[in-house]
Amino acid sequence: MQSYLRPANLLIVCVALVPVFVAASEAPSREALAAAGTAAGVLGLSLLLLAAVISVRVPRLDVWFGGLTKLWKVHHLLGAASFVLVMAHPLLLAFASARVSIEAAGTLLFPAAGAWSVWAGWLSFAAMAMFLAPTFWFFGQPEYQRWKALHALSGLAMLFALAHALPPAKDSRRALWLVYGGLALLAFIYRKFIAPYTARSGYTITRVETVNRGVVELTLEPEKKLLHYRPGQFAYLTPLDPALSSGRNEEHPYTLSSAPGENALRIAIKEAGDATRALQTVACGSRALVEGPYGDFFSARKAGAPALWIAGGIGIAPFLSGARSMTVENRTDIQLIYCVQDESRAHLIGELEAIALRVPRFKLTKHFFAREGALTGAFIAAACPDFAARDIYMCGPPVFIAATRRELKARGVSGARIQSEDFTWL
Amino acid sequence: MAVKRLIFAAFIAFFASAATILILARLSPDRKSAPEENSVPRAEVARHNSAGDCWIIIDGGVYNVTQYIPLHPTAPNVITRWCGENASEAFATKGYGNAHTPAARAMLKEYWIGTIR
C-alpha cells in the first residue's frame, strides 16, 4: 500500500470539504437525513471536479503527489468516492421525503419533465455511469483506447452536474461551484484540446533495436529541444508512423531508459498489447510526439543514499536510465537485483554488466525465476546483506512487486523505505 | 479490486433502491388528489400561529404543517415565522428567488386541510 499522507493529498481533502462546510453553514440546523443527502451531493460534486482538476497532467505537477502513477491512484479514489456519494445523494433525500409520503419521495427522484435541474442531475449521473462503468470494470477489463474515449464523457458529467447544483445554491456556494467548476473545465479543455497541440514535442525515431524477442529499444532524436528529465521518469509517446498496424496517433506512457545526459531519448518497449506489438516494427525515420516528463521514481529528496534496486522483466527500464547515467566517480552504493525468467530474457544484460565492471559502487545480481523460483528475502539478503538500511526501489509486474514487498516486510523493512512503480490498470 | 467490487455493489444497490421507491410511489393511493371541499376562514388560520400549532396559507390552500417543522431542512423559524399567515411568496421564492422542488410540493399536499375562504 502506498502512503496517502502527502501535503498535496491532504490539501485535496481540505479543498473538497470547503463546499460541504459552506452548504452546512447556509442551513445550520438541518434535519439529519436531508442534511446527509445534501452533504453527499455537495461532496460528490466537489470530488468529481477536483478529480478533473488534478488530471490536468502538467509535467512536474505530479511530483507533489509522488509521481503520476500515484496521482492517478488518487484521481481514481476521488472518482470512486464521488460516484458513491452521487448515488447516495438522491437516495438519502428521497428517504428524508419518504417520512412525509412515499409519493413525495418518488417525485423527488423522478419529478415532472419541467423540473430540469433534477433531470440535469440524472443526465450527469448517466454520463458518470457510462464513463465509470469501464473504469471500474463492470464488464471486465476494457480496451485502453475505448476506455479513454469514454472517459471524455466526464466533461459532460461535470457540465450537467453544475447545471444541477448551481440553481438551488445560494450566492456563496454558487461562487465556489463556479471556481471549482471553472478550474475543472479548464483542466479538461487543456488536456483534451490544447495539450495535444502545444505540450507535445516532435521527435524522429532514428533507431529501432530489437534487444530481445518482443522487446525493442527505440532511439528518438528531438526536432527541436530535448526533453529535460531525471532517471526513472517516463513520458507519453504518440507514434505517427502511418504504417503502424495499431496505436498510431495514440499516446501511451513509457519509462525513459536513456540517461539524461544523452542527446536522444531511449525507450524500451515490451510487447503487451496491440499498440506495443506494432511498435516492435515501427519505421526508422518516422515521427513521434513526446510529452513529459512525469513520475518521481527516484525521488530527488533521497538522492545520494545507498539504494537497492529490484527489477522484474521490462521493469528494468528506469534502472537502465539510472545505470546509464552513472559515472566512474559515482559515490552512491547501488545494488541491482535483476529478475527475469532465464538468461535469454535478460534485456540489455551485457550493457548492465559492462557498467557494473566500470562503476565500482554499482553491483549487479541476476535472479532467474526458472532456476531459483520466486525472489525470496533470503536471496535478497545474500545479494545485499545491508538491504534493510537502504532505500529500496522496485519496478516490474504488479504480482512481482506485491510478492517482493511481502518478502521485504517479513524481514522488517518498513513500507516508507520502499518505492515502487508498476504500470498497470488502476 | 476491492474498490471495483464495492462500486459495482453500490451501483446495483442504487438502482434497486431507486426502483423500489418509484414502484412504491406509483402503487401508493393518492389520498389528497381530490380533496373534499373544506373552506377555512382567514381568521381561523390566524389562530394557529405558533410552532406547536402552525397553519399556513399557500396559493389559496390551507396547510397544517405542525408535524412537518422538524422535518424541514432549515432552521424551524424559517417556517414558524409564517404560522397563521399567507406564506405563498416565501414558498415560491424561499426568500432568495428560488422555487421549491416538485418533491416539496408533493409533500405539502400531505398537509392540506382546506382552501381559504
Q: Scan for cell 414502484, then name that residue.
A: B23
pLDDT (0 to 100) of residue A293: 95
Q: Could you tell me if B58 and B100 lie in one domain?
A: yes
Host domain of residue B16? 1-30
B10's grid cell: 453500490
Alpha-carbon gap, residue A149 to A105, rounded angstroms: 36
Chain-chain contact of B3 with A31 (C-beta, under 8 angstroms): no
Residue bearing the bigger pLDDT, A266 or B76: A266
pLDDT in the model for residue A346: 84
Are A107 and B4 an interchain contact pair (Cβ–Cβ within 8 Å)? Answer: no
Taking an 8 Å cut-off on Cβ atoms, the answer to whether B73 and A38 are in contact is: yes
> A107 and B28 in contact by Cβ < 8 A?
no
* Residue A347 near residue A215, CB atoms below 8 Å: yes
Q: What is the CATH number of domain A201-294?
A: 2.40.30.10
Q: How many CB atoms lie within 10 A of CB A105?
A: 29
Q: What pLDDT shows up at residue B84?
A: 94
Instruction: Report angle CA B94, B99, B103 to the nearest 5 degrees.
Output: 110
Q: What percent of chain A has pLDDT over 70?
A: 97
Give yes or no on whether A2-198 and A302-421 have one common fold: no
Q: Are residues B18 and B52 in the same domain?
A: no
In angstroms, the separation between the Cα of residue A117 and the nearest Cα of chain B is 10
Distance CA A6, CA A10 (A): 6
Looking at the structure, do residues B9 and B52 belong to the same domain, yes or no? no
Going by pLDDT thresholds of 50, 70 and 90, the confidence category of residue B94 is: confident
For B24-49, write each residue's pLDDT tens digit.
Answer: 999 987 655 555 678 899 999 999 99
**Which positions 149-188 of A are in contact with B (Cβ < 8 Å)?**
167-168, 170
> SS3 sequence, A141-181?
CCCHHHHHHHHCHHHHHHHHHHHHHCCCCCHHHHHHHHHHH
pTM of the model: 0.87
Q: Is the dihedral of CA A290, A295, A300, A306 positive or negative?
A: negative
Q: How much is the mean pLDDT over chain A?
A: 92
Provide the pLDDT for residue A426. Answer: 60
Residues B50 and B78 in one domain: yes
Closest CA to A316 of A347, A345, A270, A272: A347
Give me the residues of A, 113-132, that contact B with CB < 8 A.
115, 118, 129, 132
ipTM, 2 dp: 0.84
Q: How far is CA A279 from the centre of its chain?
A: 22
Q: Looking at the complex, does the CB of residue A358 fall below 8 Å from at least one CB of chain B?
A: no
Residue of B nearest to A101 (CA): B107
Whether residues B55 and B111 fall in one domain: yes
Domain layout of chain A by residue ranges: 2-198, 201-294, 302-421
CB-nearest partner of B102 from A90, A99, A111:
A111
CA distances for A54 relative to A78, A129, A184, angstroms? 10, 20, 8
Measured on CA atoms in the order A419, A421, A422, A424, is the torsion positive or negative? Answer: positive
Q: What is the pLDDT of residue A32?
A: 86
pLDDT tens by residue, A43-82: 999 999 999 999 999 988 998 998 888 899 999 999 999 9
Q: What are the residues whose beta carbons fall under 8 Å from the beta carbon of A152, sequence distance 6 or more?
A: A131, A192
Q: Are A21 and A76 in contact (CB under 8 A)?
A: no
Do residue B41 and residue B9 come from a single domain? no
The answer to whether residue B1 scores a pLDDT higher than 70 is yes
Model pLDDT, residue A2: 55
Q: Which of B22, B75, B104 sits opposite A106 (nearest CB)?
A: B22
Same domain, B65 and B108: yes
Architecture of domain A2-198: Up-down Bundle (1.20)
Question: Which CATH number belongs to the domain containing residue B81 in this structure?
Answer: 3.10.120.10
Q: What is the mean pLDDT of residues B89-117?
A: 87
Residues B64 and B108 grouped into a single domain:
yes
Same domain, B43 and B73: yes
Match domain A302-421 to its CATH number in 3.30.70.360, 3.40.50.80, 3.20.20.80, 1.20.1050.10.
3.40.50.80
Contacts with A24 from chain B: Cβ below 8 Å: none
Condensed to tens digits (0 to 9), the pLDDT of residues A194-216 reads: 999 999 999 999 999 998 889 99
CB of A27 within 8 Å of a chain B CB? The answer is yes
Domain identity same for B39 and B74 = yes
Q: Quick one: which of B87, B28, B81 has its CA closest to B56?
A: B87
- Select the residue of B7, B22, B74 nearest A109 (Cβ to Cβ): B22
C-alpha B19/C-alpha B14 separation (Å) is 8
Find the CB nearest A168 among B25, B28, B98. B98
Angle subtended at Cα B90 by Cα B99 and Cα A22, rounded to the nearest 5 degrees: 65
A142 prior amide bond cis, ω within 30: no
Interchain contact A31–B (C-beta under 8 A): yes
pLDDT at A118: 93
Q: What is the pLDDT of residue A1?
A: 47
Q: Rounded mean pLDDT of B69-93?
A: 88
Band of the pLDDT at A85, cuts 50, 70, 90? very high
Rounded (10°) CA dihedral A86, A78, A11, A302: 170
| Mean pLDDT calculated for residue range B75-102 | 87
**pLDDT tens, A23-42?**
888 776 568 888 899 999 99
More confident residue, B100 or A45: A45
Residues B95-112, mean pLDDT to the nearest whole number: 85
The tens digit of pLDDT for each residue in A125-173 reads 999 999 999 999 998 888 888 898 999 999 999 999 999 999 877 788 8
Average pLDDT, chain B: 88
Reported as a pLDDT band with limits 50, 70 and 90, residue A106 is very high
Cβ contact A103–B25 (<8 Å):
yes
Average pLDDT over residues A335-360: 91
Question: Across the interface, which of B7, B70, B104 has its CB nearest the CB of A80?
Answer: B7
Number of domains into which chain B is organized: 2
CA distance A124 to chain B (A): 15
